Amino acid sequence: MRSEVRVRAKGRARAVQAVYAWDVTGALALDRAAERLWDDLALDADVRRRAAALTRVVAARGGEIDAAIRDVTANWRLERVGAIERAVLRVAAAELLEGETPPKVAVQEAVRLAERFGSEPAARFVNGVADALARKLGRL
């Protein structure tokens, strides 16, 4: 059980990194950007599978995810949200839509990733938005 939690956490982090790389470069399709990054990192197969599951949801439902984020960030255009926060929120939304992770865990993990890759203010922002997003998507 403990190793499954670790695989999910690592997969989530690698998905955020892939979504971030894809977002800031804009040059490749998300799946290609992810594969390139994960090859460079020599990801474990289990971690790669978890990260790929999340990035597939982001790629397939990106418009819906971005619209949901826009709806809960009324005073922020998505383009004004920092790239780290955008990547974390997109992965959190994918995890919420996927439905395998308890919603409170998905929100908590999004906050943890925002702290890890961003800053304390980023984590507070992500906490508020991810919570509102979980409610909007009917998961809380």
| CA-based torsion, 123, 125, 130, 132: positive or negative | positive
pLDDT digits (tens, 9 = 90+) for 90-130: 999 999 999 999 999 999 999 999 999 999 999 999 999 99
Query: How large is the average pLDDT for residues 52-62?
Result: 96
Range of the domain at 79: 2-136
Q: Is the pLDDT assigned to residue 1 strictly greater than 70?
A: no
- Whole-number mean pLDDT of the chain? 93
Prediction pTM value: 0.94
Provide the token pair at 79: 């383009």
- Give the count of domains, the chain: 1
Evaluate whether 89 touches 23 at the Cβ level (below 8 Å): no
Q: Is the pLDDT assigned to residue 2 strictly greater than 70?
A: no
CATH code: domain of residue 129: 1.10.940.10
